[in-house]
Amino acid sequence: MSIPIFTVFLIPGNKTVAAHEIGHALGLDNTTVSGSLMLANYNGSHRYLGQDDINGIRSLYGNPGSYSFISGSRIICSAASNYTLSYLPTSCTVTWAYSTNLQFVSNGSNYISLKGIGNGTGWIEATIHSDCSTLVIPRYSVYIGTPTPSLTVHQISGQGEPFTVSFTASPFITGASNTYKWYVNNILTESHLALNEFERYIPCNQSISVKCCVSNSCGTSAFSSNSVVSNDCSGLKSIVLSPNPAAGDIQVNILPPSESDTTKSKLLLNSIETSISKSNPYLVNITDAMGSIVQSSKQYTDNFIIPISTFKNGNYILSVNDGNNIYQKQFIIKHE
């Protein structure tokens, strides 16, 4: 980019002219758009940028919401890392600031070299200085060392089976090459680069222990604390599907909470023999393996038939909403 050569004669205190000429130094031409700082003729004090000025500077340097003027690794270890300020205008200088868990090593005209102290989040900030003004560049977020993650857990399915839980590891640094390793009952189950979420299905009346560690260029972190999740299905209605896997129609029976398999068997027999109509219907959805709803209906009894002749082979989820809870059950279609 060529920078125009110009001579500026400033009246003391005339910041409008100075700002206009800085616009030229940054690569902007004169404009004819009313209300712009870059109008060719001086029309009095002008202390703000017009939209045409903003559009012009963004066309040259990008949108500050999506572009970082500071470049360098998002992870800093105990060894020195360099951070460079892009597009530093000619004749301007830069000073640097950084969080207390970073240590100065060296710097040059448009870069600084830092190393990390301990672990944790940090930041780097640059300030550009000219003869008449200063400009603070947005902070650049970094992580020092290997982050020991903490886990949050939330349920992402209804009650019953399948009971699916999502685990999220924090902190998460955008742009950092962290690998998240997930252990279930002390066995490595999944490993993901730059993906800090993990989902797990838990059968009824079982519990699992989940923990996570993080690896990056600085090493491998300690494990997070164990997160134990149990799927206690007692006190909930049960859904019985027969047959499952199925090649023809499926019988659905919704049973009230029961304490033993013997009681449940008796309830199942009674429900097949008698069909009592409900005033408030069950809202029934069937979703495929991609999460798309393939069938919806309202059912007014505790037992009903699902016709599946048009379904393709595969895994499906039956969801039943009774107005208080959502119960789910997985089934398989396997046509001959």
Q: Give 82's Cβ-side CA count (13 Å radius).
A: 8
Is residue 139 domain-shared with residue 176, that is, in the same domain? no
pTM metric for this prediction = 0.53
What is residue 72's predicted lDDT score, i.e. its pLDDT? 93
Give φ, ψ of 92 to 5 degrees: -95, 155
> How many distinct structural domains can be found in the chain?
4
Rounded Cα distance, 161 and 208, in Å: 15
Q: Does residue 2 belong to any structural domain of this protein?
A: no
Contact 23, 38 (CB under 8 A): yes
Sign of the alpha-carbon dihedral angle for 161, 162, 167, 168: negative
Residue with tokens 């004090």: 45
Position 7 in a domain: no
Q: Among the three residues 98, 114, 144, which one is the final residue of a domain in this structure?
A: 144
In one-letter notation, the amino acid at residue 114 is: L
Give the separation between CA 308 and CA 314, rounded to whole angstroms.
11
9 lies in some domain: no
Range list of β-strands (E), 86-226? 93-98, 102-107, 111-116, 120-129, 134-136, 140-144, 150-155, 159-160, 163-170, 179-184, 187-193, 197-202, 206-216, 219-220
Whether 80 maps to a domain, the answer reads: yes
Do 279 and 328 lie in a common domain?
yes
Q: Which of 99, 119, 144 is the last residue of a domain?
A: 144
Domain holding 105, by residue range, is: 70-144
Q: Which residues pair with 295 in a beta bridge?
A: 286
- Residue 263 has a pLDDT of 46
Residue 211 lies in a domain: yes
pLDDT of residue 12: 42
What residues contact residue 187 under an 8 Å CB cut-off, 6+ apart?
none
Q: Calculate the dihedral angle through the C-alpha atoms of 57, 59, 60, 66, rounding to the nearest 10 degrees.
A: 90
Check whether residue 138 and residue 209 sit in a common domain.
Answer: no
Residues 113 and 180 in one domain: no
| Claim to verify: residue 110 and residue 171 sit in the same structural domain | no
Token representation of residue 279 = 């005033």
Q: What is the CATH number of the domain that holds 81?
A: 2.60.40
Q: Do both 93 and 172 map to the same domain?
A: no
User: Among 55, 18, 50, 22, which residue's Cα sits nearest to residue 37?
Assistant: 50
pLDDT score recorded for residue 16: 78
| Domain CATH for 198 | 2.60.40.10
Residues 77 and 157 in one domain: no
**Is there a single domain that holds both residue 280 and residue 320?**
yes
Asked if residue 312 is part of any domain, the answer here is yes
Q: Got the DSSP string for 202-270?
A: E-TTEEEEEEEEEEETTEEPPPPPPEEEEE--TTS-EEEEESSSBSS-EEEEEE---SSHHHHHHHHHH
Per-residue confidence of the chain (336 residues) as pLDDT tens digits? 444 444 444 444 467 777 888 888 888 888 888 888 888 777 777 767 788 888 888 787 766 555 568 999 999 999 999 999 988 888 889 999 999 999 999 999 899 999 999 888 899 999 999 887 888 988 999 999 988 889 998 877 665 566 788 899 988 877 778 899 999 999 999 998 888 998 888 877 788 899 999 999 899 999 998 888 777 666 667 788 888 888 889 999 888 775 444 444 444 444 444 455 567 899 999 988 787 889 999 999 989 998 888 888 988 888 888 887 778 888 889 887
pLDDT for the residue 235: 65
311 is a domain residue: yes
